[in-house]
Amino acid sequence: ILQDQDYPLPPQFEEAYRNSELVVFEVDPAIPVTNENLEGFNLPPGETVLPLLSASLQTILDDFFKGFDRTLEDYQRRRPEFFNSVLYFFGARSYGFGPGVDDFFEELAESEGKPTAGLELFDEQIGAIVDAYRDVNINWSLTYLLRLAYIQSGQIEEDLRNLIGQWREGRIDELAASNAAFKRSNPQQYESILANRNRNWIPVIESLLETPEVEMVLAGVAHFAGPDNVLALLEEAGYTVERYVAKESPFGTLKFNEPIVISLY
């Protein structure tokens, strides 16, 4: 997710897109998402997140959602982990964060008729997040209160701006350190959300490398830094990974370090 100030994107993205014949996202946007798929976000029929919330917290959350013309009722069937994500993204939205890089290229590929593909299925992505929290004892009421405080203090904007800076400027050591800390503090979640998915993507990427076409693979920055990251796994498999530097920039000379855009050989 980005703010308006983050556009235009670095020229490497534009050039990599123009030089590719297929754009590969985490999930292929050309595959329709059904209501059945979306049920993966929700608790079983008849269950809601409300039993996890005190009456006062329900009032606070309802007031929060009203700021976005929504109500707590709209999201009460969300699984607790996805409800937490709802709060995060609405909070980010309140500071002007909106569609990100994947959204930008999904729309561009669709408008130009460029083929797309995915590294995994939508249900697999949801399943990985659900598994990350399976049998984990979390005080969700406290978690939501802390999330609201994090949003209202403005810390969410500061942290997102720092993360975007790390990503855009290629500060790989900082990204790697963050992932390493995540692995130490929440090994089950790290394994399910990042490491296991990274390993599952390697055969997909290898199959792309065997074709004569050039593909652009676009996924979340967390998958490309720290322990068990995609690039390290490819190098372990014998591939050479090189940083991609734009040859011609439609936006002029960069005024920051080269971002992490990777060309695989």
Half-sphere exposure of 85 (CA within 13 A, CB side): 10
Closest to 41 measured CA to CA, from 53, 49, 32: 49
Coil, helix or strand at residue 250? coil
Is 255's pLDDT higher than 90?
no
CB environment 194-213: b (16+ within 10 A), e (fewer): bbebbeebbeebeebeeeee
Is 262's pLDDT higher than 70?
no
Each residue's pLDDT tens digit, 72-91: 999 999 999 999 999 999 99
- pLDDT at residue 155, rounded to an integer: 98
- pLDDT at residue 250, rounded to an integer: 46
> Which range, of 6-10, 46-50, 57-61, 193-197, averages the lowest pLDDT?
6-10
Each residue's pLDDT tens digit, 97-152: 999 999 999 999 999 999 999 999 999 999 999 999 988 889 999 999 999 999 99
Closest to 17 measured CA to CA, from 77, 87, 101, 83: 101
Each residue's pLDDT tens digit, 193-203: 999 999 999 99
- pLDDT at residue 249, rounded to an integer: 47
Q: How confident is the model at residue 12 (pLDDT cuts 50, 70, 90)?
A: confident
| Cα(8)–Cα(147) distance, integer angstroms | 30
Contacts (Cβ under 8 Å, ≥6 apart) of 85: none
> Which range, of 16-30, 38-52, 128-142, averages the lowest pLDDT?
128-142
Q: How confident is the model at residue 246 (pLDDT cuts 50, 70, 90)?
A: low
Is 159's pLDDT higher than 70?
yes
Q: At residue 258, what are phi and psi to the nearest 5 degrees? A: -65, 130
